[in-house]
Copies of this chain bind each other. A is one copy, B any other.
């Protein structure tokens, strides 16, 4: 009965993409550990860009600094 929490920045992931994340993660746990999909939860959190930091900076500032 795994619980998986996927946290990503909120940048327009579609319902279809999120469904693929749910399906892919659940399949993976079944293949690798034999976990029952019916007791596998996958919860996706989308986090506003100004609330996610890396390199000591909010994500957008970090990307600018990295020239990406």
> Contact residues of A with B, CB < 8 Å?
1-9, 13, 15, 17-29, 31-33, 35, 37-47, 50-59, 61
Contact = CB atoms under 8 A, between A and B. Distances in A.
A31 B53 CA distance: 17
A37 B1 CA distance: 14
A19 B58 contact: yes
10 contacts: A3-B3, A7-B43, A8-B33, A17-B33, A19-B57, A21-B53, A22-B56, A23-B53, A24-B31, A43-B47
A64 to B, nearest CB: 13
Contact of A8 (B17, B19, B35): B35
A31 to B, nearest CB: 8
